[in-house]
């Protein structure tokens, strides 16, 4: 079974009705790492529904959390809002400054500024959870009961946190963080409590009271999380490995939520998605690839496959270069497999059967909707990239793939070609896949050429003039231009790459040349010989 089906099976033993939760603090730009959390929840929800369970899939927006610092993408003007809830402060403008006018006119908060594009990307990728905004939940009274219990049982909660996390809380710690006289959650000391008021003194010397029932503050994270489980009724939640570590917030939360009269949800801990060669993605540091950016490059099914094919406890390294190429080609390979036939093979080992079933499950979860029909285009990402760079029009691309005016390419393939063009023009195209022919060679290119290289170039031109114009014959013609005069094929490849692409190596040359008009290639080689002999 797919990992989501395994989780759904476990949920079925706990009952027929479930609330599956995910949640993120929109402190900065969302990235593909965030997709792991919400897609993990989405896939568990889909598997649970497939198993006949009644599922409510929710996404909690932690917009009651404070702005921790002035992040690199923000102007220093945001220093006035450090400690303020991100759902209550202005969104940044194009220069990273607080946009007070837009905040006043449209109510666009800092949290919404980063949240809205992410929700748009989620809709594209087939994820439509019920949205719960934390700050509104506090202000509308949904936290009232659990907040009262937390404040009434402050000593019991302190004991749980200190025992489980092995850290000592400050003497003035209290399970409610009031907003101070300036609207900040930082630097406030609780001086007393009688429900619904928590009395405080802030760093400015101002004293006041926070009304729990009006959401004039919030519960600290380690209490806020299990409190949400309780009042929402969460039965399953996926979360990052930091929360699942020994002594982490899940370990304290599962005890604290029992003080609220609720049993902890079934956990599913996932590993990070890291940016290849750069470590874990982080909104605050700007080390990210955004989901909208990625969706401009590939269909949503391919991004869903990224999460679906890896068990949650397996770390994923990703980039929009070769990782994306490999992922897209893996998607095409999966689509072209005959799984029924593979499962009917005689002497099929248990291990092989599990691998096939995992692949079937991953492909099913890659669908944007359960009703989606996945069809192979029979065109690899690599080959489409080659065609998009070597053909001068879309019509030539379709002709190369065998399509005609009466047999047009499917809309899914047209969409892929359009996304491919964006990818080629972006910074994400790997150099090893970039195709750039030298139409006007310069003498500097041939500084290292001696008599042997020049002779090979002359023979290469003749070989390419007479061979059949396909990748097999072109692939033979290149090394033969050196072998025919008893030289190493390495010289032939050096000459071919240097004269045609201006570098000593690159992507496989024969398939590239086969997609380009012979006359164009011969003309380039003739120009090279003219420059060398001038």
Domains of the chain: 3-143+220-273 (3.40.50.620), 381-433 (no CATH), 443-533 (1.10.10.350)
pLDDT in tens, the chain (534 residues): 899 999 999 999 999 999 999 999 999 988 888 889 999 999 999 999 999 999 999 999 999 999 999 999 999 999 999 999 999 999 999 999 999 999 999 999 999 999 999 999 999 999 999 999 999 999 999 999 999 999 999 999 999 999 999 999 999 999 999 999 999 999 999 999 999 999 999 999 999 999 999 999 999 999 999 999 999 999 999 999 999 999 999 999 999 999 999 999 999 999 988 877 665 655 555 555 778 788 888 899 999 999 999 999 999 988 888 888 899 999 999 999 999 999 999 889 999 999 999 999 999 999 999 999 888 888 998 899 999 999 989 999 999 999 998 999 998 899 999 999 999 998 888 888 888 889 888 888 888 899 999 999 999 999 999 999 999 999 999 999 999 999 999 999 999 999 999 888 888 899 999 999 999 999 999 999 999 988
**Global pTM?**
0.88
In 141-195, DSSP assigns E strands to 177-178, 189-194
| pLDDT score at 226 | 98
Q: Give the C-alpha separation, 397 to 255, whole Å.
A: 61
DSSP 428-481: TS-GGG-----SS--GGGGTT--HHHHHHHHHHHHHHHHS-SSHHHHHHHHHHH
Q: Give the C-alpha separation, 68 to 432, whole Å.
A: 41
| pLDDT score at 279 | 59
| pLDDT score at 283 | 55
Q: Give the C-alpha separation, 260 to 438, whole Å.
A: 71
CB contact set of 82 (below 8 Å; sequence gap of 6+): 66, 67, 68, 69, 70, 184, 186
| pLDDT score at 288 | 59
- DSSP-assigned beta bridge partners for residue 84: 184
3-state secondary structure of 260: coil
Contact 74, 53 (CB under 8 A): no
| pLDDT score at 281 | 56
Contact 87, 140 (CB under 8 A): no
- Residue 394 burial class via C-beta count within 10 angstroms: exposed 0-12, middle 13-18, buried 19 and up: middle
Query: How many C-beta neighbours within 10 Å does residue 77 have?
Result: 15
Strand order in the sheet with 273-275: 279-280, 273-275, 316-318
CB contact set of 379 (below 8 Å; sequence gap of 6+): 332, 401, 413, 416
């Amino acid at each position: 079974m797919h990992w989501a089906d395994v989780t759904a099976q476990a949920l079925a033993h706990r009952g027929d009705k479930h609330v599956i939760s995910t949640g993120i603090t929109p402190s900065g730009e969302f990235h593909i790492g965030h997709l792991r959390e919400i897609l993990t929840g989405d896939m568990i929800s889909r598997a649970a529904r497939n198993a006949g369970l009644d599922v409510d899939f929710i996404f909690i927006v932690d917009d009651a959390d404070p702005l921790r610092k002035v992040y690199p993408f923000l102007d220093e003007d945001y220093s006035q809002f450090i400690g303020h809830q991100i759902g209550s402060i202005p969104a940044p403008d194009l220069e990273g400054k607080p946009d007070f006018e837009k905040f006043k006119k449209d109510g666009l908060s800092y949290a919404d500024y980063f949240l809205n594009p992410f929700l748009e990307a989620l809709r594209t990728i087939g994820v439509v959870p019920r949205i719960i905004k934390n700050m509104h939940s506090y202000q509308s009274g949904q936290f009232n009961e659990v907040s009262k219990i937390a404040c009434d049982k402050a000593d019991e909660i302190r004991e749980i946190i200190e025992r489980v996390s092995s850290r000592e809380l400050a003497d003035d710690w209290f399970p409610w963080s009031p907003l101070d006289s300036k609207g900040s959650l930082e630097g406030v000391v609780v001086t007393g409590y009688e429900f619904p008021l928590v009395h405080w003194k802030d760093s400015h010397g101002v004293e006041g009271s926070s009304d729990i029932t009006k959401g004039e503050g919030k519960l600290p994270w380690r209490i806020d999380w299990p409190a949400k489980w309780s009042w929402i009724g969460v039965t399953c939640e996926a979360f990052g490995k930091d929360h699942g570590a020994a002594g982490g917030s899940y370990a304290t939360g599962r005890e604290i939520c029992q003080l609220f009269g609720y049993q902890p949800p079934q956990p599913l801990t996932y590993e990070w998605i890291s940016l290849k060669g750069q470590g874990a993605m982080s909104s605050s540091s700007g080390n990210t690839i955004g989901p909208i950016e990625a969706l401009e490059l590939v269909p949503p099914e391919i991004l869903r496959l990224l999460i679906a094919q890896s068990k949650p406890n397996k770390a994923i390294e990703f980039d929009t270069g070769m990782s994306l190429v490999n992922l897209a080609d893996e998607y095409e390979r999966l689509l072209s497999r005959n799984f029924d036939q593979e499962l009917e093979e005689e002497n099929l080992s248990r291990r092989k059967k599990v691998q096939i079933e995992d692949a079937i499950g991953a492909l099913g979860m890659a669908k944007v909707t359960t009703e989606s029909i996945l069809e192979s285009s029979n065109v690899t990402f690599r080959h489409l990239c080659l065609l998009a760079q070597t053909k001068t029009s879309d019509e030539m691309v379709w002709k190369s793939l065998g399509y005609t005016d009466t047999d047009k390419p499917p809309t899914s393939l047209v969409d892929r070609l359009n996304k491919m063009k964006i990818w080629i023009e972006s910074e994400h195209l790997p150099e090893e896949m970039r195709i750039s022919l030298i139409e006007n060679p310069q003498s500097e290119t041939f500084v290292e050429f001696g008599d042997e290289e020049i002779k090979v170039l002359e023979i290469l031109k003749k070989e390419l003039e007479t061979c059949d114009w396909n990748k097999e014959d072109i692939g033979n013609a290149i090394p033969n231009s050196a072998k025919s005069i008893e030289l190493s094929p390495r010289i032939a490849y050096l000459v071919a790459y240097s004269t045609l692409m201006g570098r000593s190596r690159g992507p496989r040359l024969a398939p590239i040349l086969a997609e380009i008009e012979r006359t164009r290639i011969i003309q380039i080689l003739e120009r090279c010989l003219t420059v060398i002999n001038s």
